[in-house]
Amino acid sequence: MKSAPWSIFKSILRNPLIISVFLATPMAYGQVPLPNWLLTSGDYLAQMTLPLALICIGGTLSLASLRESGGLAVSASLVKMIWLPVIGTLAAWLCGFRGAELGILFLYIGSPTAAASYVMARAANGNHELAASIIVITTLMAAITTNIGIFLLQWGGWI
């Protein structure tokens, strides 16, 4: 069953992340200063967001759903954590990026899947179990792939 374009558009406009971007853009463009208490509160909230999101994802993750979406989750995670960083870093190197810029691009491309993707998948009535599996797998893989990637880039003399 396909969704009507208008209903998809309305669900995008009701997305809290999209709403916050639309509300923040004029504030950023106008360089509206925020009070220190709001900045401090925002910093505390930002520091808690990732651990809380990972705890929530871990709490909803079941072994049955992990087993069910295992092949797809592993292949998507391999693409995200190995193939995209290799191809993206090579393309950046061919475009002339060197040193710290190349290393930053590698880390950016090879970062784990954002925890917000689970929230987005759930809000869009998507496969949030698959999203949770991919987040968990890529987060665990990042400890290995980023270290190996940085080692190889340094060993090759590219960064």
Report pLDDT digits (tens) over 29-69: 999 998 999 989 989 988 888 788 778 777 777 777 677 77
| Range of weakest confidence among 15-24, 31-40, 104-113 | 15-24
**Does 57 map to a domain?**
no
**Does 155 map to a domain?**
yes
Cβ-count burial 26-39 (b if 16+ within 10 Å, e if not):
eeeeeeeeeeeeee
**Does 115 map to a domain?**
yes
**Does 95 map to a domain?**
yes
Q: Is the pLDDT of residue 71 over 60?
A: yes
Can you read off the two tokens belonging to residue 142?
A: 């990042």
**Does 150 map to a domain?**
yes
What is the domain range of residue 96? 69-159
**Does 118 map to a domain?**
yes
**Does 147 map to a domain?**
yes
Could you give the number of structural domains in the chain? Answer: 1
